[in-house]
């Protein structure tokens, strides 16, 4: 088997029956969610499967290591020959010991080495996913990868909050080398470009030629990179010899097979992981104590998840009073500020209204979701400890640094394991004012909600946190 290796796509050249066999393998042919509702499926023009190898043997380069592994399992006697047509060679790689004023931690060096030392067969393969939990220092790791290769680098981010954070942090690591491609910022092309994906997408014709000059591509919160916008932008980085995704929740949920394999096709395998427990034990993250309280016990709506969620979570006065009760209990014990986080705007409104009715005098409260005009101000005040209780939507689950926060109440009752990790990341921020952070969650009954509760409970245990059942 020959594999002609290129940066975005590679080509398989070998026995047709072998290529077709792997094309139908469960890791390369995945049933599309909702395929039954597709007109093409109903007309029998499509069998409902997403395939990661084309009829002509073209494969996304990120899936090449997986292809080789499966090929060796099926055809152990057949050789694999890599023909490298990426047209790029790196003369020297030097991993820095210090970046600006900051010393590179041991695990950060290991994360960088997982990329610089990665190979497929005998070919250098500097790509993959670095699974870094909150507080691992993803921006410093990114700066370290840039300095190790000393090549022009694109650093993609998705949200305004992450943009603000990157603009604040990265110039400290790479003074004089950082440019910004984002609305409201003067564009000046520099060796290390912070790129807002939405801005790049809107200016795709203008930036495409420039992107081709950047051989290193880094994507923060890379679990978002399967979107249409992200993929359109990343497809323009066709000279990205180095391609790295960074996220603490990429491939966290094995149930999301389609998304996981799309991520693999873009970046490659997960090549390095550092978990919350490791960072907690090393003293880089705050310890987290998880309490699971009784949630919904009465609502059960078979065949209608939306109704069960509305009645059992959003509008459930008994459950909502338990949530507010936990917040007020934390206030009585001096644990503030407190974040109450949930999924929907409706639930934010319901909880905030109830909180206004029951809060003690002298306690400051606010609310945010993505439509709130005062969002930026409220988040800043909460971060500084000027708001005691903030009720917010999942817009707060990524990229927010709330080191003063002593308790977080997860009110949303969701089923996403990635969201569990993202919300947990808000609780692991360390500060001298606290020994640990308390995370409250609610164990709900119901046709669907019970299953979701079990999944979250199991995930907390898998993260090796202190978990206490209160139901």
Of 241, 91, 214, 242, nearest in space to 153 by CA: 214
With contact defined as beta carbons under 8 Å apart, do 43 and 61 qualify?
Answer: no
Q: What b/e sequence results for 355-375 when a residue is b if at least 16 CB atoms lie within 10 Å of its CB, and e otherwise? A: beeebeeeeebbbbbeebeeb
Contact present, 126 and 115 (Cβ < 8 Å): yes
Mean pLDDT of the chain: 94
- Give the DSSP H or E segment for 118: none
Q: What's the CA angle centered on 93, arms 88 and 96, to 5 degrees?
A: 145
Residue 136 is part of a domain; what is its CATH number? 3.40.50.300
**Is 37 a residue whose pLDDT tops 90?**
no
The reply to whether 238 and 262 lie within a common domain is yes
- What does the pLDDT average to over 4-20? 96
* pLDDT, tens digit (0-9, with 9 covering 90-100), for 342-370: 999 999 999 999 999 999 999 999 999 98
108 within 8 A of 137, measured Cβ to Cβ: yes
Report d(CA 165, CA 195) in Å as an integer.
13
Peptide bond into 92 cis (omega under 30): no
Place of tokens 């470009």: 193
Residues 47 and 92 in one domain: no
Output the DSSP codes for 189-237. Answer: --SEEEEEHHHHHHTHHHHHHHHTT--EEEEETGGGTTSHHHHHHHTT-
Q: What is the CATH number of the domain that holds 82?
A: 3.30.780.20
The helix/strand/coil state of 35 is helix
**Are 224 and 174 part of one and the same domain?**
yes
Do 353 and 451 reside in the same domain of the chain? yes
| Domain stop point among 274, 304, 322 | 274
Locate tokens 């066709």: which residue? 238
Q: How far apart are CA 391 and CA 368, in angstroms?
A: 6
Residues 459 and 363 placed together within one structural domain of the fold: yes
Residue finishing a domain among 63, 86, 109: 86
Residue 96 sits in the same domain as residue 81: no
- The residues, any chain, with a CB within 8 Å of residue 4's CB and separated by 6 or more, are 10, 11, 13, 83, 85
pLDDT at 462 > cutoff 80: yes
- Verify that 80 and 172 share a domain, yes or no: no
308 plus 420 within the same structural domain: yes
The reply to whether 40 and 97 lie within a common domain is: no
Contact assessment for residue 5 and residue 84, using Cβ atoms and an 8 Å cutoff: yes
Residue 350: exposure state from Cβ atoms within 10 A (0-12, 13-18, ≥19): buried
User: Are residue 410 and residue 285 in the same domain, yes or no?
Assistant: yes
CB-based contact 391:367 (threshold 8 Å): yes
The pLDDT > 90 percentage for the chain reads: 89
HSE (side-chain half, CA atoms, 13 Å) at 167: 15
Domain coverage including residue 154: 88-274
At residue 328's C-alpha, the angle toward residues 325 and 330, to 5°, is 110
Q: Are residues 234 and 353 in the same domain?
A: no
What is the value of pTM for the model shown? Answer: 0.92
**Model confidence at 35, in pLDDT bands (50, 70, 90)?**
confident
Question: Does residue 119 surpass a pLDDT of 80?
Answer: yes
Q: How many structural domains does the chain have?
A: 3
Tell me which of 227, 258, 274 is where a domain ends: 274
* pLDDT band, very low/low/confident/very high, at 42 (cuts 50, 70, 90): confident
Q: What is the pLDDT of residues 65-83, one digit of tens each?
A: 999 999 999 999 999 999 9
Alpha helices for 238-333 (secondary structure H): 257-267, 276-281, 305-309, 317-332
- Asked whether the predicted pLDDT for residue 45 surpasses 80, the reply is no
In the DSSP assignment, the letter for residue 296 is -
Which pLDDT score, from 0 to 100, does residue 282 have? Answer: 94
Is residue 112 domain-shared with residue 55, that is, in the same domain?
no
Dist CA 179 CA 189 (whole Å): 6
- Each residue of 282-327: pLDDT tens digit? 999 999 999 999 999 999 999 999 999 999 999 999 999 999 999 9
């Amino acid at each position: 088997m020959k594999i002609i290796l290129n940066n975005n796509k590679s080509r398989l050249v070998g026995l047709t029956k072998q290529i077709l066999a792997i094309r139908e393998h469960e890791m390369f042919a995945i049933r599309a969610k909702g395929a039954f509702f597709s007109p093409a499926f109903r007309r029998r023009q499509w069998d409902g499967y997403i395939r990661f190898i084309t009829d002509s043997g073209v494969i996304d380069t990120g899936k090449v290591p997986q292809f080789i592994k499966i090929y060796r399992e099926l055809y152990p006697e057949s050789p694999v020959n890599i023909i490298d047509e990426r047209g790029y060679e790196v003369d020297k790689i030097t991993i820095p010991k210090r970046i600006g004023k900051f010393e590179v931690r041991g695990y950060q060096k290991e994360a960088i080495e997982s990329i610089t030392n990665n190979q497929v067969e005998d070919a250098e393969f500097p790509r993959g996913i670095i699974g870094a939990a909150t507080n691992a220092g993803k921006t410093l790791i990114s700066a370290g990868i840039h300095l190790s290769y000393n090549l022009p680098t694109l650093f993609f981010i998705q949200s305004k909050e992450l943009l603000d954070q990157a603009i604040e942090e990265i110039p400290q690591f790479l003074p004089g080398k950082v440019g910004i491609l984002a609305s409201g910022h003067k564009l000046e092309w520099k060796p290390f470009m912070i790129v807002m994906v939405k801005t790049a997408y809107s200016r795709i014709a203008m930036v495409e030629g420039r992107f081709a000059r950047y051989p290193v591509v880094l994507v923060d919160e890379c679990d978002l990179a399967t979107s249409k916008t992200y993929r359109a932008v990343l497809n323009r980085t066709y000279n990205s010899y180095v391609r790295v995704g960074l996220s603490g929740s990429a491939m966290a949920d094995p149930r999301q097979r389609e998304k996981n394999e799309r991520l693999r096709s873009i970046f490659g395998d997960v090549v390095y992981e550092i978990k919350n427990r490791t960072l907690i034990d090393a003293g880089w993250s705050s310890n987290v104590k998880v309490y699971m309280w009784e949630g919904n016990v009465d609502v059960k709506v078979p065949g209608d998840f939306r109704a069960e969620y509305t009645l059992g979570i959003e509008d459930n006065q008994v459950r909502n009073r338990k949530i507010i009760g936990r917040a007020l209990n934390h206030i009585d014990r001096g644990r503030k500020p407190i974040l109450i986080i949930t999924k929907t705007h409706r639930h934010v409104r319901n909880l905030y209204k109830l909180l206004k009715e029951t809060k003690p005098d002298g306690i400051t409260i606010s609310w945010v979701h993505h439509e709130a005009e005062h969002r930026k101000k409220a988040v800043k005040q909460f971060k500084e400890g000027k708001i005691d209780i903030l009720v917010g939507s999942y817009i707060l689950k990524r990229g927010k640094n709330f080191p003063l926060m002593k308790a977080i109440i997860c009110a949303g009752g969701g089923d996403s394991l990635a969201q569990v990790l993202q919300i947990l990341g808000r609780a692991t921020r360390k500060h001298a004012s606290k020994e640990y952070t308390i995370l409250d969650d609610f164990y709900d009954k119901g046709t669907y909600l019970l299953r979701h509760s079990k999944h979250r409970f199991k995930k907390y245990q898998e993260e090796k946190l202190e978990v206490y059942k209160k139901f």
